Amino acid sequence: MTNWNDLVSGEDLHNIAKDRQKDFETTFVLNDDISSKEKSGWAIQKLNKNGTAIMKRNKKTGDSFEDEVWMLFYKMGFTTLNSTRNFKVSYSKDQPGLTKQIDVIAVDDEVCLLIECKSSVNISKVATWKNELESINGYKGNLFNELKQKFGDKKYKYILATKNFIIGDQDRTRMKDFRIANFDHDAILYFNQLVNHLGKAAKYQLLSTLFTKEKIKEMDNRVPAIEGKMGGLTYYSFSIEPSKLLKLAYVLHRNKANHQMMPTYQRLIKKERLKAVRKYIDEGNYFPNSLIVSLDTGDRSLKFERSDLQVENSISKIGVLYLPQTYQSAYVIDGQHRLYGYSESKYADNNTVPVVAFLDLDKDSQLKMFMDINENQKAVPKSLRNTLNIDLKWNSEKLAERNMAIMLDIGQRLGEERKSALFGRIVTGENSVTRDRCITLEYIRDALSKTKFFNEYKNNTVVRHGTIALGNNDDTLKNIYPMLLEYFSIIQSQCKEEWDKGSDGCLTINNMIFALIRIFDDIFNLALERSKKTSTTNWQEVFILCSSHIDSLCSTLNNMDDSVKQKIKTSKGGSAKTVSWRELQVAVNQTDDTFVNSDLMNYIEENCVDYSQDVISHLHEARELLTVKLSTVFSESKWFENFFPENLQIDLMQRRVVKAFKKDVKSDDISFWDLMSFKDYIQLIDYANNWSTKLSNVINTNSEEDKITKIKFITFLGSLQKLENKVERKLKMSKSDFDNILAVLEILQK
């Protein structure tokens, strides 16, 4: 038998809510039983004088999740809910004893919802619900019939609420076929957030989600309207009571709960702004500007009865518009705060709001209109704009923009799908940055754009085919995304301690995620090279060849020097991404010398090998050769006074005095040539006619092909001066530095 006594409403609901919203449970025990209770996880809250105690413990995972769901529907204003966890409904007329326990039942004037809750402590792999779903489908009709005897003709829905379970595609199909709704924890969190902002008005969004395109009973859908044309589109302008429009309306918020719906572009309604709007309305004020909506007609012609009275020669027509009588049929493009401000207002039924309604706008048109409207109002946040660009650019005529869209989509999916190791770590939509959620879509996109995975375009033509790109974005996504899922899953499992630190560590932050994507591109290209391929349509066959390098990467991450970690974590500015990638590249190479390609070899040689000693030695050699060549030319009497610039003469004489004093020798014992820097040689060469009359023939050979001009030789000496400056600053010398001085030496040695 159905235990109807377990259903409560009115003041009793508030009393039960006080216990449901707590994260712990309490019990009374005799003092003698305290010890045994403590072994079961209970703790003393209060010792009473009468030999009893109040003890408490945290709720079990399942009970806590049930209460979270129960509280959601309570806050939405459902008037009847179950008081205990043992509410049972009979589903057999012949055998009343056959009952189904219902975790949460929520009833109001329009609907009756049955919610079954399933939760896990940790995120599980894809669960199989085939038997449970088939069982629910078998008896839910009888459950509804039983409930109809008490609650009458309402809308009934069975909901499977899940937490930390990944629902497989086959089970999603079964739920759709069996008309069973699934609310995962993202949906629960979204509606909780919505109810905290909207209050009981959040129920409209809930009903639109549950009963999409189902008819709203007893609704008068007629409104006086004007039919017009604008931008090649037909639109209707009308006024309607907010209470009616609220039932039809749906706001597509950018949130993990509805990220698969397209388009999803609106900012989440702000609580403080909504309160201000509601207060403004209740004080008798109004907003004269129109709400903008797109009416979903369901591929049926919207009925518009033209009035007999019309204005001659006018494009606009007057008449009566018959709105769709279904939930989720009016998508709010602009004006959500104004609309929801009327919820719970005394003017919801006796005021009207102006509306401009377009018909069946496709997702791109809705997005463009939203962006255009907001262009000169509150700026669309960058994170939300990135999200919107996925939809806007997905089928763009510009192929490079399609690339951008798929890269952003991959980043968004990595952050929003529970099966991803980066779930909850990437800032999408209007989510805020937290300790764990600190990776931006820009970094994901920029990293992917530097890989060879995708086609490269110039003038809308492919100039390089991607290593794993297919003919279109949808197919390419199916080939690349699961590969990245697997890659990050391996890193998460092998480097869990650092992975879980979020922004407190150095692994799940922007710079490192950028580097990890670039490193995987390096690994994937090495695997392709070993398999003697340039591309693949099957990521798995190449991924197998990546495993040893990925293991080396994980070993590197687990044993990385603190100095490298710090450099990656603190690098900022335009070079931060490249610095992070290069630092990780070198570190992996030091762990696994088979992780190498020509580009990396050049980088290591150029940046990681210190040529300082060789460069210093060659600088001395260059100075000696230069002195020999020039001193033989300037050997006549008064050569110093006649051929050296006056300022250089003064500088050299001052230096000679200082050096003589330090060495305690006579000034005449010190040669001016020993005091010369490469900068001084440049002055000497550039002075008056020294080059043409004295130096050109000494520097140049007889070969016209090898002839060095004055400007070119000064440039060579300038490069030596830069090297000398680096020596003074004790900076590391690169392969390029070494090559530069060798080139100059070759000239001086001729």
Residue 189 is assigned to a structural domain of this protein: no
Q: Examine residue 325 and state whether it is found in any structural domain, yes or no.
A: yes
* One domain, residues 400 and 545: yes
Phi-psi region of 163 (alpha: psi -120 to 50; beta: other; left: phi over 0): beta
SS3 224: strand
Would you list the DSSP string of 341-389? Answer: TTTT-TTTTT--EEEEEEES--HHHHHHHHHHHHHTSSPPPHHHHHHHH
- The answer, yes or no, to whether residue 246 has pLDDT greater than 90, is no
Q: Can you give the pLDDT at residue 89?
A: 92
592 and 638 co-located in one domain: no
Give a yes or no: residue 52 inside a domain: no
Better-scored residue on pLDDT, 269 or 520: 520
Residues 588/561, Cβ–Cβ less than 8 Å: no
At 735, the pLDDT band (50, 70, 90 cuts) reads: confident
Reduce the DSSP state of residue 21 to 3 states and report it: coil
At residue 573, the pLDDT reads 87
Range of lowest pLDDT (249-258, 306-315, 517-526, 591-600): 249-258
Residues 136, 179, single domain; the answer is yes
Q: Are strands 99-101 and 88-90 parallel, antiparallel or unpaired?
A: antiparallel
Do 601 and 616 fall within a single domain? no
pLDDT band for 254, please (50, 70, 90 cuts): very low
Distance of CA 229 to the CA centre of its chain: 39
Q: What is the pLDDT of residue 379?
A: 52
Decide which of 377, 403, 418 is a domain's last residue: 377
**Average of per-residue pLDDT values in the chain:** 87
**Is residue 391 scored above 70 in pLDDT?**
no
Domain, as residue range, for 395: 384-607
Whether the CB-CB separation of 77 and 108 falls below 8 Å is answered with yes
Instruction: Say which amino acid occupies 571.
Output: S
3-class state of residue 685 by DSSP: helix
Q: Do 437 and 561 reside in the same domain of the chain?
A: yes
327 lies in a domain?
yes
Q: What is the pLDDT of residues 343-352, one digit of tens each?
A: 878 888 888 9
- The tens digit of pLDDT for each residue in 192-224 reads 877 877 777 788 888 888 888 888 877 888 999
How far apart are alpha carbons 121 and 102 in whole angstroms?
21
Please, what's the b/e burial string for 372-405 (b: 16 or more CB within 10 A of its CB; e: otherwise)? eebeeeeebeebbebbbbbbbbbebeebbbbbbb
- One-letter-per-residue 3-state SS of 39-94: HCCCEEEEECCCCEEEEEEECCHHHHHHHHHHHHHHHCCCCEEECCCCCEEECCCC
**Is pLDDT at 570 greater than 50 in this prediction?**
yes
> For the segment 409-459, what is each residue's pLDDT rounded down to a tens digit?
999 899 988 889 999 999 886 677 899 999 999 999 999 999 999 999 999
Let me know whether 413 and 316 are in one domain. Answer: no
- In this prediction, residue 296 carries a pLDDT of 87
Q: Are residues 617 and 603 in the same domain?
A: no
Q: Are 97 and 158 in the same domain?
A: yes
Distance of alpha carbon 344 from alpha carbon 339, whole angstroms: 11
Tell whether 493 and 555 lie within a shared domain: yes
- pLDDT higher than 50, residue 360: yes
Average pLDDT over residues 38-60: 88
**Among the three residues 578, 607, 636, which one is the final residue of a domain in this structure?**
607
Q: What is the mean pLDDT of residues 707-712?
A: 88
Question: Do 549 and 670 share a domain, yes or no?
Answer: no
Q: What is the pLDDT at residue 263?
A: 41
Measure the CA dihedral 38/40/44/50, to 10°: -80
- Rank 590-599, 659-668, 703-712 by mean pLDDT and report only the highest: 590-599
Confirm whether 139 is domain-assigned.
Answer: yes
CB 477 within 8 A of CB 406: yes
For residue 201, which phi and psi values (nearest 5 degrees)?
A: -65, -15
Q: Of the candidates 607, 635, 664, which is a domain's last residue?
A: 607
**Total tally of structural domains belonging to the chain:** 4
Strand 126-127 versus strand 52-58 pairing type? unpaired
Residue 626 falls within a domain, yes or no? yes
Q: Which strand ranges, in their side-by-side order, compose the sheet holding 233-240?
A: 249-250, 330-334, 291-295, 353-359, 233-240, 222-230, 317-322, 304-306
Closest CA to 560 of 594, 583, 578, 582: 583
Domain membership flag for residue 413: yes
Is the pLDDT confidence value at 594 over 70?
yes
Tell me if residue 478 falls in helix, strand or coil: helix
> In the numeric block, which tokens belong to residue 9?
């409403």
Check residue 500 and give its pLDDT. 92
**Cβ atoms within 10 Å, residue 705:** 5
Same domain, residue pair 584 and 628: no
Residue 231 has pLDDT above 90, yes or no: no
Question: Predicted confidence band at 268 (pLDDT cuts at 50, 70, 90)?
Answer: low
Using pLDDT thresholds of 50, 70 and 90, give the confidence band for residue 258: very low
580-603 as b/e: b if 16+ CB within 10 A: bbbbbbbbbbebeeebeeeebeeb
**How much is the pLDDT for 388?**
63
161 DSSP β-pair partners: 117, 183
Mean pLDDT, residues 387-410: 84
d(Cα 511, Cα 578) in Å, to the nearest integer?
Answer: 9
* Contact between 584 and 556 (Cβ < 8 Å): yes
Asked if the structure places residue 50 within a domain, the reply is no
CB-CB contact of 481 with 546 (8 Å):
no
User: Rounded to two decimals, what is the model's pTM?
Assistant: 0.54
- Say if residue 260 is in the same domain as residue 348: yes
